[in-house]
Amino acid sequence: MPVEDIIKYCLSKHKAYEDYPFGDIPICYRLNGKIFAQLYPNETDYKITLKCTADAGNFFRSLYPDKVVRGYHCPPIQQPYWNTIYLNDFPDDELFNMIDLAYDTVLNSFSKKIKRKIIGDT
């Protein structure tokens, strides 16, 4: 999938925005200050790291053992909650599902009050 399509999809999520807290790479996508996706658009190392629940992380790592690994950049305590997906030859529909899950995981991490405010701001 082209980088532009991933960027467009991440930015299509309600109230999502692009950020560069670590320099030019990764390109981060946030909701209310929390990162849900980190895109590495390098031709030789094309990947994305997505927020997830521990159960979902294990599921996707077992389903795609050659393409999905624990968040490679995270400290060990955070690794179960992030998946790094190597994007060459990865199914587009599955990537979109995983981005949706990452966004929803971050959205659901907020208090009910904050979540209502985010959802209510249309």
Q: Answer whether 7's CB lies under 8 Å from 41's CB.
A: no
Which 8-state DSSP code applies to residue 13? S
Whole-angstrom Cα distance, residue 2 to residue 92?
10
| Per-residue confidence (pLDDT) for residue 78, from 0 to 100 | 77
What is the rounded average pLDDT for all residues in the chain?
Answer: 93
Question: The pTM is what?
Answer: 0.93
Whole-angstrom Cα distance, residue 52 to residue 100?
10
Query: Hey, what domains does the chain have and what are their CATH numbers?
Result: 3-111 (3.90.1150.30)
Q: Tell me if residue 17 falls in helix, strand or coil.
A: strand
Whole-angstrom Cα distance, residue 72 to residue 93?
23
| Per-residue confidence (pLDDT) for residue 109, from 0 to 100 | 95
| Per-residue confidence (pLDDT) for residue 75, from 0 to 100 | 66
Model confidence over 101-118: pLDDT tens digits?
A: 999 999 999 999 999 999
Q: What average pLDDT does this structure show over 48-75? A: 91
